[in-house]
Amino acid sequence: MSDVAAFTPETTAAIARARRHALGDLLHRTAKRYPTKLAVVAGERRATFAEFDDAVNRCANSLAARGLAKGDRLALLSHNSWEFAVLAFATARLGVVLVPVNFMLNADEIAYILSHSGASGLVAEDALAPTAEKAIATAGLTGGVRGWVALSGAAPTGDWEDVGSWIAEGSPEPVDVPVGDDDPLRLMYTSGTESRPKGVMLSSKSLISQYVSCIVDGGMTSEDVEVHSLPMYHCAQLDCFFSVDVYLGATSVILPGADAGTILATIERERATKLFCPPTVWISLLRHPDFDSRDLSSLRKGYYGAAAMPVEVLREIQRRLPDVRLWNFYGQTEMSPLATILSPDEQLPMAGSAGRASLNVETRVVDDDDNPVPTGEVGEIVHRSPHAALGYYNDEEKTAASFRNGWFHSGDLGVIDENGYLAVVDRKKDMIKTGGENVASREVEEALYLLDGVAEVAVFGISHPHWIEAVTAVVVPKQGVELTREQIDAHARERLAGYKRPKYVVLADSLPKNPSGKILKKDLRVQHAELANDRSAR
């Protein structure tokens, strides 16, 4: 057998090119397999895989012509769109690092990301261009590439160029940039609880190994027709679903947002078979007046994540969509993002569980010294997997802390049973310490969801002079239902120990959520911080 070290550099490079399996290669290979198959539906656009591949080549060549090269960072501030889909793969072909930006951020927050990432350019949706301009000025950036995604039909102004022209007018020649398995290709800024977000570096190895886990354990195939409504700036929609569909050759229907009525109409029109939503969006679909009048018979696969599905909502989905098989995906951005999966046959028997480690993941629960805890005991959830990120960009200290002892530390608390099923107890930050006892907010939420008339609920702790933290619940009644704090308290008394019962109950019309549908408990903590001083709330 030959010693590879004896090969010439030319031969070594040729072998590396022949063996390459990078993110930018996936669409090209799918287009060779299914050139005429429908790849993307976005608004009025319906593109085959061959057309999608051509658009990506043209866009990549346009970016290169504007000076972007391997290792450069390109920020993208936009709702879901055709251009977003093209840029996700065009940057990967060039080895340019895509930096998707949360479109809900203000100019100062975006400026931080532009500065921290060292972005060489910014692509912004036309409606967000004024915010983008302020962010560029605040960051003190001059020059660089500026692209304009014309979702509302506005024409580019000033230094901005229409991304549509990059796609239409760029060279169609294939792009061939040597991209290694662990070259960074995505820089995903996490919201977290830090004063500033962290930039999570993801590579082809991280992403593609995660795609394989999604496909095998998530029952995904090339025959899927999927609606993508959650923000693609978040890796759940982008990398558990959209990019996996591209890899497989499935059809993607891209919506600009998660409007319940639009999702229902799109499932009916496109005969969609597959849908991912967090529990909050599934609830909004069930409550929408069009739910029972739309033909949803094509839907066969449903996925949820970001939070556990309340058991009563799970039962309602299975009753009203009996042909839909459900999967629970649990993970975090640093895992690209999948870590564990609960399969369809386990939904009711293991309700509330995050399932077991997915195909390419090893998961365990450890104590504060990183020693595995006994079965059934609470500890921090840690993972070992090729899914794992390369670390945090320009942050050695936080990277070392999160990846200590060769495991990624999730910051979530959990319990693993004797069969390897993981129950996520809470985020460390969401564990309520009241009167010397620990209360898992999720346990209280599950109990309150059992009360007829509750549409949504969020439980969290607020500072209290006696209890240290007081268990607090914000409850959203179902439409047309009147609930009182007394009813909720009486219900809690029947199902929860005294120290677990909410000390304060607030009735609200809605809960604050980010564009991914995740409830913003940090906002609720701030909003209701003064309840302990309000006698009427007791």
Instruction: Tell me which of 3.40.50.980, 3.90.1200.10, 3.30.1360.120, 3.30.365.10 is the CATH number of domain 22-29+39-179.
Output: 3.40.50.980
Helices (H), 187-300: 204-217, 235, 243-248, 260-270, 279-287
Phi, psi (rounded to 5 degrees) for 486: -65, -40
Residue 174: per-residue pLDDT: 95
Residue 408: per-residue pLDDT: 98
Asked if 73 contacts 96 with a C-beta cutoff of 8 angstroms, the reply is: yes
Phi, psi (rounded to 5 degrees) for 104: -90, -10
Helices (H), 249-394: 260-270, 279-287, 311-320
Using the 8-state DSSP alphabet, how is residue 309 labeled?
Answer: P
Residue 386: per-residue pLDDT: 98
Cβ atoms within 10 Å of 480's Cβ, excluding its own: 6
Residue 436: per-residue pLDDT: 61
Q: Does domain 435-537 have CATH number 3.30.300.30?
A: yes
For residues 227 and 263, give the distance between their C-alpha atoms in angstroms, rounded to a whole number. 7
**CATH number of the structural domain 204-428:** 3.40.50.12780
Asked if 402 contacts 409 with a C-beta cutoff of 8 angstroms, the reply is: yes
Asked if 346 contacts 480 with a C-beta cutoff of 8 angstroms, the reply is: no
Both tokens of 440, joined, read 């898992």
Cβ atoms within 10 Å of 260's Cβ, excluding its own: 20
Among candidate residues 336, 312, 330, the one with its CA nearest the CA of residue 450: 312
Residue 194: per-residue pLDDT: 43
Angle at the Cα of 217 from the Cα atoms of 216 and 222, rounded to 5 degrees: 45
Asked if 304 contacts 326 with a C-beta cutoff of 8 angstroms, the reply is: yes
Taking only Cα atoms into account, the Rg of the chain, rounded to an integer number of angstroms, comes to 24
Both tokens of 247, joined, read 């890899």
Give 523's strand partners: none
Average pLDDT of adjacent 10-residue blocks, the chain of 538 residues? 78 92 97 98 97 98 98 98 98 98 89 96 95 93 90 86 96 95 96 69 98 98 98 95 98 96 98 94 94 98 87 93 97 96 95 94 95 94 98 96 96 91 78 73 87 93 82 94 94 86 94 80 89 66
Residue 193: per-residue pLDDT: 40
98-135 burial, b at 16+ Cβ within 10 Å, e below that, comes to bbbbbbebebebbbbbbebbebbbbbbbbebbebbbeb
Measure Cα distances from 494 to 41, 313, 449, 489, 497 in Å: 50, 21, 13, 9, 9
Both tokens of 90, joined, read 């065009």
* The dihedral sign for the CA sequence 345, 350, 354, 359: negative
For residues 501 and 513, give the distance between their C-alpha atoms in angstroms, rounded to a whole number. 24
* The dihedral sign for the CA sequence 404, 407, 410, 415: negative
Angle between helices 204-217 and 23-33 (to 10 degrees): 50
Report the first-to-last Cα separation within the chain, whole angstroms.
Answer: 78
Both tokens of 54, joined, read 């051509």
Where does residue 226 fall: left (phi above 0), alpha (psi -120 to 50 degrees), or beta otherwise?
beta
The residues near 396 (Cβ < 8 Å, ≥ 6 apart) are none
Tracing tokens 């309520």 back to the chain, one arrives at: 432
Domain boundaries, the chain: 22-29+39-179, 204-428, 435-537
Q: Beta strands 45-48 and 437-440: pairing type?
A: unpaired
pTM of the model: 0.83
Q: Would you say the CATH fold of 204-428 matches that of 22-29+39-179?
A: yes
Q: What is the dihedral of CA 35, 254, 291, 310, to 10 degrees?
A: 110
Helices (H), 66-128: 82-94, 107-117
Q: What is the dihedral of CA 6, 8, 9, 10, to 10 degrees?
A: -140
Amino acid at 279: P
**Residue 59: its H or E element:** helix 49-65
